[in-house]
């Protein structure tokens, strides 16, 4: 008899979190179902003292452990079972009341000077995963599992950025590494120091150990209770200790806050989709989730307009992550936004096969350089609920380089996946092109894997200091991929080039198609001093820098900007400058064109759109069971401002899609319309009369 799947593997999870009182069973479940959810994050629930509040370790100063009222919780679960909704308990394991600094001094995280953290969110402390507090958590999760909850969500755990130097951490580090726990604040600017590597590994392994034991205690009681946590975003691991590769090894679902939008909304509009692609790839067959806040942070009781809610959903589900959406206010106060939420949830419920058990048909992969984020000084920390923004003024900003190249691919209508550096050790041969956004730190295994990939016929596109450092952040004398890239004599970066230019040295080269009549093309802000090898092609070069923007016409230099090189059966396109940063900051149209021209012959792209603005993102996937192919269209077309209030429909978009089977029907599922099509060989052609905020086209095989 086949073993039954755990419930979170059976259908897409539509998680909704909203403020409500625990004791009104009918109202809570009715609200969840009206919003289209099939699972809730249970924020408030009863305790033996008769109160309804969030799960914390204590209740009042001087009182002993606060215990969950199992009778009341089980009664609520009986009601949700009848309504076929899932209950995932929210457990805050990162922020505690400051009163516990005095009540339980051995549990709190401490700074290097020994003082306790007392300003998390301006008013909280945080407990340490290595302290005896962990045993209390293990008991609580076991108790919750015995009540029959469907899942437990850990909000956290984290190491606060300038911690932890509690007695438990000091002892554990000394035992593991044989020397005293070093200064985190000093080492952050000395990332080539081997002790920095040990410290980063120690903290990520501490969190992984805590999660592993938590899940062991849960599964011992109830194998059908899931555990997952608030994992790391597209940012370095070191500020909080959350390494998503390690997290997913010991939990059941991988999630990250890709849908939390902050302040001036300066982050990339592709943030939800980029996060979904990344966590889905790392999850390695397990489910993933993108945490989306309906509120415009940090205004907690606000709600984003309908257009932004649509973008959160469309990007997340397209790239196969589940959606968790949280309201901090009564959702019924926002009717337009709720209608969007209901429409997407109804679509997911109707067509679950679109959002699980599919495989990407992308022939291109973009690397998120997680290792580089930890050990390269050009990395920055984005604003999240757990971290303050830390800007990097050094050349080679990794986050901007990534999002700039992400935008280049998306706006050139190139379907692509997001992978991490570990994947490079054995690159999937389905990829024709792998894109490296200043992936500075690479191990020898990664380098060897890339060389093998290119020599065997794969192609790469890379920028700036890619492969100039080893995996621990030690700067090397040459790019490790120099023979692949066709470069030598690597020297120091130059810039900033605040008013400078590049030029087409070879007007006949395909990378400058459409730009050959330009005397001047705007330069990247930083470049890398290198020399091209003899057989490499240099179609674009730098002008000499001007001393001022009105200092006359620049003189042509021989410094390469773009180098094309053949290596074995594959090719390399190398940008000796920060092209991703230039796109992320300035959206220079010429760079979209240059990079688009350069990558398309190498990418083997099986999709072509006509009459479509660059604000349409295209993705293609295949269902593992039926073999049907799905083309997903995310529409980002809108008024030229954020937050986006409404998505503007696009009309008469031509689509050409290569498919390895005969097609019987083409259906636009969002619009509920059959689409006329033609097929010649492996190429299917059709026109979409209208793309609203979203569309998925099903190509059903014969």
Q: For the chain, give every domain's residue range.
A: 93-251, 254-350, 364-603, 607-701
Tens digit of pLDDT for each residue in 139-185?
989 989 998 999 999 999 999 989 999 999 999 999 999 999 999 99
Find where tokens 């415009």 sit.
Answer: 296
Q: Give the fold, CATH level 3, of 607-701.
A: Immunoglobulin-like (2.60.40)
In terms of DSSP bridges, do strands 487-488 and 531-532 run parallel, antiparallel, or are they unpaired? antiparallel
Q: Give the fold, CATH level 3, of 93-251.
A: TIM Barrel (3.20.20)
Phi-psi region of 462 (alpha: psi -120 to 50; beta: other; left: phi over 0): beta
pLDDT in the model for residue 257? 94
Are 93-251 and 364-603 the same fold in CATH? no
Longest dimension (CA), the chain: 81
Lowest mean per-residue pLDDT among 203-207, 270-274, 396-400: 396-400
Q: Enter the pTM of the model.
A: 0.94
Confidence of residue 394 (pLDDT cuts 50, 70, 90): low
Confidence of residue 260 (pLDDT cuts 50, 70, 90): very high
Q: What is the mean pLDDT of the chain?
A: 90
61 has a pLDDT exceeding 80: no
Question: At 400, is the secondary structure helix, strand, or coil?
Answer: helix
Confidence of residue 67 (pLDDT cuts 50, 70, 90): low
Which of 486, 470, 487, 468 lies closest to 478, judged by CA? 468
pLDDT in the model for residue 68? 57
126 has a pLDDT exceeding 70: yes
Q: Which CATH number fits domain 364-603: 3.40.50.10680, 3.40.50.880, 3.40.50.2300, 3.30.1360.170?
A: 3.40.50.880
Alpha carbon distance 672, 16 (integer Å): 26
Q: What does the pLDDT average to over 243-251? A: 96
DSSP string, 151-194: EEEEE-----TT---SHHHHHHHHHHHSSPPPPHHHHTT-TTSH
pLDDT in the model for residue 216? 98
Buried/exposed 417-452: b ≥16 CB within 10 Å, e otherwise? bbbbbebbeebeeebbbbbbbbbbbbbeebbebbbe
pLDDT in the model for residue 99? 85
Confidence of residue 134 (pLDDT cuts 50, 70, 90): very high
pLDDT in the model for residue 123? 82
19 has a pLDDT exceeding 90: no
389 has a pLDDT exceeding 50: no
DSSP string, 307-349: HHHHHHHHHHHHTT-EEEEE-SS-GGG-HHHHHHHHHHHHHHH
Q: What does the pLDDT average to over 644-657? A: 97
Which of 304, 259, 193 lies closest to 15, judged by CA? 259
Q: Which residues partner with 565 through β-bridges? A: 572
In terms of DSSP bridges, do strands 124-125 and 96-97 run parallel, antiparallel, or are they unpaired? antiparallel
Confidence of residue 42 (pLDDT cuts 50, 70, 90): confident
Confidence of residue 53 (pLDDT cuts 50, 70, 90): very low
Q: What does the pLDDT average to over 289-311? A: 94
pLDDT in the model for residue 378? 60
Confidence of residue 429 (pLDDT cuts 50, 70, 90): confident
Question: At 197, is the secondary structure helix, strand, or coil?
Answer: helix
54 has a pLDDT exceeding 90: no
């Amino acid at each position: 008899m086949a073993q039954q799947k755990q419930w979170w593997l059976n259908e897409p999870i539509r998680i909704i979190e909203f403020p409500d009182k625990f004791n009104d069973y009918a109202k809570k479940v009715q609200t969840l179902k009206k919003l289209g959810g099939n699972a809730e994050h249970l924020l408030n629930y009863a305790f033996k003292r008769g109160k309804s509040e969030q799960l914390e370790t204590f209740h009042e100063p001087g009182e002993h452990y606060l215990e969950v009222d199992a009778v009341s919780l089980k009664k609520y679960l009986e009601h949700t079972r009848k309504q076929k909704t899932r209950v995932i308990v929210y457990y805050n394991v990162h922020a505690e009341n400051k009163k516990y600094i005095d009540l339980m001094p051995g549990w709190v995280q401490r700074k290097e000077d020994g003082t306790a953290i007392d300003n998390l969110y301006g008013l909280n402390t945080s407990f340490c995963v290595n302290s005896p507090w962990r045993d209390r958590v293990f008991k609580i999760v076991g108790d919750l599992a015995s009540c029959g909850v469907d899942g437990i969500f850990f909000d956290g755990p984290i190491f606060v950025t300038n911690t932890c130097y509690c007695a438990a951490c000091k002892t554990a580090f000394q035992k593991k590494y044989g020397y005293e726990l070093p200064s985190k604040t000093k080492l952050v600017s000395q990332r080539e120091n081997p002790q920095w590597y040990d410290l980063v590994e120690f903290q990520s392994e501490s969190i992984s150990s805590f999660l592993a034991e938590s899940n062991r205690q849960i599964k011992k009681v109830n194998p059908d209770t899931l555990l997952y946590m608030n994992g790391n975003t597209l940012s370095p691991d070191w500020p909080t200790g959350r390494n998503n590769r390690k997290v997913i090894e010991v939990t059941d679902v991988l999630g990250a806050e890709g849908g939390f939008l902050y302040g001036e909304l300066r982050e990339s509009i592709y943030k939800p989709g980029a996060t979904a692609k990344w966590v889905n790839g790392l999850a390695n067959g397990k489910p993933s989730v993108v945490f989306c806040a309906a509120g415009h942070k940090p205004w907690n009781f606000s709600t984003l307009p309908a257009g932004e809610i649509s973008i959160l959903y469309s990007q997340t589900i397209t790239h196969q992550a589940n959606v968790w959406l949280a309201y901090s206010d009564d959702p019924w106060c926002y009717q337009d936004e709720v209608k969007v939420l209901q429409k997407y949830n109804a679509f997911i419920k109707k067509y679950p096969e679109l959002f699980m058990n599919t495989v990407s048909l992308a022939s291109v992969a973009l690397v998120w350089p997680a290792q580089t984020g930890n050990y390269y000084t050009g990395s920055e920390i984005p604003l999240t609920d757990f971290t303050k923004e830390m800007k990097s003024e050094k050349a080679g900003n990794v986050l901007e380089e990534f999002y700039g190249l992400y935008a280049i691919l998306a706006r050139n209508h190139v379907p692509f996946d997001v992978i991490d550096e570990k994947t490079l050790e054995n690159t999937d041969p389905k990829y024709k092109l792998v894109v490296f956004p200043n992936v500075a730190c690479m191990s020898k295994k990664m380098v060897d894997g890339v060389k093998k990939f290119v020599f065997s016929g794969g192609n790469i596109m890379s920028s700036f200091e890619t492969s100039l450092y080893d995996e621990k952040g030690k700067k090397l004398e040459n790019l490790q991929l120099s023979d692949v890239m066709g470069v030598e004599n690597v020297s120091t970066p130059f810039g900033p080039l605040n008013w400078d230019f590049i030029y087409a040295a070879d007007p006949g080269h395909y990378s400058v198609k459409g730009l050959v009549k330009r005397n001047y093309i705007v330069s990247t802000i930083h470049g890398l001093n290198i020399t091209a090898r003899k057989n490499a092609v240099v179609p674009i070069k730098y002008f000499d820098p001007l001393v001022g923007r009105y200092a006359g016409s620049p003189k042509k230099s021989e410094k390469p900007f773009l180098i094309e090189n053949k290596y074995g059966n594959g090719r390399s396109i190398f940008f000796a400058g920060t092209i991703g940063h230039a796109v992320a900051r300035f959206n220079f149209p010429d760079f979209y064109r240059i990079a688009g021209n350069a990558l398309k012959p190498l990418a083997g792209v099986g999709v072509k759109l006509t009459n479509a603005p660059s604000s349409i993102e295209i993705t293609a996937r295949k269902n593992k069971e039926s073999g049907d192919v799905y083309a997903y269209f995310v529409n980002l077309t809108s008024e030229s401002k954020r937050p986006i209030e409404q998505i503007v429909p696009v009309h008469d978009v031509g689509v050409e899609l290569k498919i390895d089977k005969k097609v019987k029907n083409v259906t636009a599922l969002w619009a509920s319309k059959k689409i006329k099509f033609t097929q010649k060989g492996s190429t299917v052609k059709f026109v979409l009369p209208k793309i609203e905020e979203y569309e998925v086209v099903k190509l059903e095989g014969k």
